[in-house]
Structure 1
């Protein structure tokens, strides 16, 4: 019989795994899914630069709203919002710390104290700056989540090959992305198998379970070594790197959605520049 105290812990583990599944790619036919991965990579770089260069709250809010529009248009709004909850503790921590220890001060002082050598102070300008830093985090994380949710590993690798990146580098990146998913699945299966044998991995903390972790790490390591050997044998059997030229049976091409996305990004940066001039805070 399973103790009733274990049920909440197992439920938390299952919910955590389901939340991590939100970041996986799911095929679709939306505007974002039809974009060339190189275009989505450009959008990822563009939005990251916007988040790091601008510190104005209205600009960062508009950037986040732009990502919400992309998610809604792609039909992944619910998954996108649930995925953002993964970083909600960091979001709250950033706002709280930047509110009490902000490098910007001004306006009414809502709280001030002296705690040893620390001087926490909450001002109107500090709260605005802290909120902007929180939205900066959401913009950076949001565009990365959109890229992961709408881009398959195969399409991304073919796009890199189209950019004349060396085949060894593209294969390594492709294999690393795929191995992350495969290793997660193997670890989950091994944990379920060990639980079925009576190993209680869900009870206690990391220190108390340190002796039990060997029963998890050893099978995972063996599985990883076996998978690496099978991959090496398959590469050798197919003559990887034996020929000078490599080709893909399917190539990625730019289309009308990519041109439209480039126009949207160009127009969006002009809007952000105007907003930053009008609302500099």
Structure 2
């Protein structure tokens, strides 16, 4: 059982060549990695939300829902910096910067999957020179995040229907109750991986080194314009970073 993040829409992002979107995510993701400012990182995150809203017609609620399974990671990132970085004020600022940096980069990756069909995304990776096996592995790994989240929700609902009260008790009691969620989740994850492996073997995955494709990707004028916009934004950011705004 695999859940897809793809959202059917008629938008500019949906119509772009997947290679353009992959390159765009790589460029903007690099910009996000270079940003360590507690103001610039949230700004990049908000701009990503607005960009996917305006260019991809993806509601903000849909975008935030995709990030929901990773909330514990975001919280852990934020609270860890005040502990390891001194003084406390600097740790809090670093926590804000790195948390929003991770959120922004993750949202970019999810935005790519929400605006691109799986077959087109894999084809885009292979056209860029990535081996098909690696491209498929990366895509399956990314798609497993919403899959695990959906499985966990189903298990929690099933356990609640049996009388398990996950919200009651102190932190230790609730952590102990989570064992009833984690163990079935591990079992279902292994079963899902096994079913995926059998499905790939039944389709003779890897039997032939030479692959054929139903459709070929062709770059259009709007794709080249989009690439030019991406690299222009990247150059403007780098010029600001290394000249006017050294903190970004």
Q: Same fold (TM over 0.5)?
A: yes
Moved more, 206-215 or 61-70: 61-70
Q: Does 1:256 align with 2:221?
A: yes
Give the drift of 1:209. Answer: 3.6
In the superposition, the TM-score normalised over structure 1's length comes to 0.62
Q: Which runs of 5+ in 1 are unaligned?
A: 1-20, 102-117, 123-127
- Structure 2 partner of 1:46: 27
Residues 133-174 of structure 1 show CA distances to partners (whole Å, capped at 9, x for unaligned) of 887667545534533432343322222232343333233223
Match runs of 1:76-95 below 5 Å: 76=58, 78-79=60-61, 82=64
Secondary structure of the residue aligned to 2:142 is: helix
Say if 1:226 and 1:90 are closer, same or farther in 2 by CA, change over 3 A: closer
Moved more, 70-79 or 238-247: 70-79
Match runs of 1:56-75 below 5 Å: 67=48, 70-71=51-52, 72-75=54-57
Secondary structure of the residue aligned to 2:204 is: coil
Taking the aligned partners of 1:212 and 1:120, their CA distance within structure 2 comes to 34
Q: Which runs of 5+ in 2 are unaligned?
A: none
Which residue among 132, 135, 151 is the counterpart of 1:186? 151
* C-alpha contact (below 8 Å) 2:74/2:102 kept by paired residues: no
- Structure 1 partner of 2:234: 269
Give the drift of 1:24. Answer: 3.6
Say if 1:235 and 1:203 are closer, same or farther in 2 by CA, change over 3 A: same
Residues 61-118 of structure 1 show CA distances to partners (whole Å, capped at 9, x for unaligned) of 9866764663323223634785689699789879x96xxx8xxxxxxxxxxxxxxxx7
Say if 1:193 and 1:241 are closer, same or farther in 2 by CA, change over 3 A: same
* C-alpha contact (below 8 Å) 1:55/1:132 kept by paired residues: yes
Higher helix proportion (structure 1 or 2): 2
Q: Does 1:216 align with 2:181?
A: yes
In the superposition, the TM-score normalised over structure 2's length comes to 0.69
Taking the aligned partners of 1:160 and 1:93, their CA distance within structure 2 comes to 36
Count of aligned residue pairs for this structure pair? 238
Give the drift of 1:270. Answer: 4.1
Taking the aligned partners of 2:77 and 2:201, their CA distance within structure 1 comes to 47
Q: Which has the larger radius of gyration?
A: 1
* C-alpha contact (below 8 Å) 2:160/2:166 kept by paired residues: yes
